[in-house]
Amino acid sequence: MKVAIIGFGNIGKYLANWVVNEPSFELSYVVARREIDKDSFDFKNQPVSIRKEITADLINDVDIIIECATKDVVSQLLKYEELDREGLKFIAISTGGLYQNKAVLNNLKNCEVILPVGAIAGLDAIKAVNDEISSINLKTTKHPKSLEGAPFFETSNIDLSSIKTVQTIWEGKVSEAVSLFPKNINVGASIYFASKCEDLTIQIVADPYTTSNMHEITCEGDFGKIYTRTENQPSPSNPKTSFLAVKSVVSILRNMNASIKIN
């Protein structure tokens, strides 16, 4: 299967390395706005085309598109009518971009849009009971350094470098979180798609002593109560990303050729 990877940061490089070492897949395209030195990355002699922009011919030429860039790139991809093609699989890591384009998603008829479980556990159970949910909440705890650069802080008086104790940074709805913390709260958008709950509430906590990215989900309804707590080690090369989020994409790719599938 021919693969295009959109975004060639730490996640994109990890996934590219995995794809070029798997016989079932062929890395056909990498899209990145920064220059890529082919000699600095071992593409295993695969005929990889390096592009700076997404194009219709690229979309038509592949079986799998993996987005690991930004929510704005997701929005850009969804504008291409070529995306809605039978047999095409679109794996989106920036699920906040999917949330902000819900109307477009609802009009897709052929393309299979796949959301990695990312940095959390329990989405399968939440999806199974999403017609019985009365309340659902996400509490995300990260080191202040992992929150740096979020648009929220452009207008906030909070100084992340001065935080010395555990502090709640923000609370609100998922619709606000995907805009204010786009690189930190894709998990919130993923929970929305599993739960279909517009009332999903999110709490973001900064803990200067934590060494992990922690996500706690509390989901209640007539079915009972689901509570999950996932403590992820940050990706070695990017503290804003949980390593589990990267591995969950690998799991999707492995599952495509597996004879036994766990959904």
Catalytic residues: 215
In the chain, which residue ranges form alpha helices assigned H by DSSP?
10-20, 56-61, 71-78, 95-99, 102-107, 123-128, 174-180, 186-195, 243-256
* Backbone φ and ψ of 173, nearest 5°: -90, 160
Cβ(214)–Cβ(142) below 8 Å: yes
CA–CA distance, 261 with 115 (Å, rounded to integer): 16
Contacts of 44 (CB under 8 A, 6+ apart): 20, 21
> Tokens at residue 11, please?
């996640």
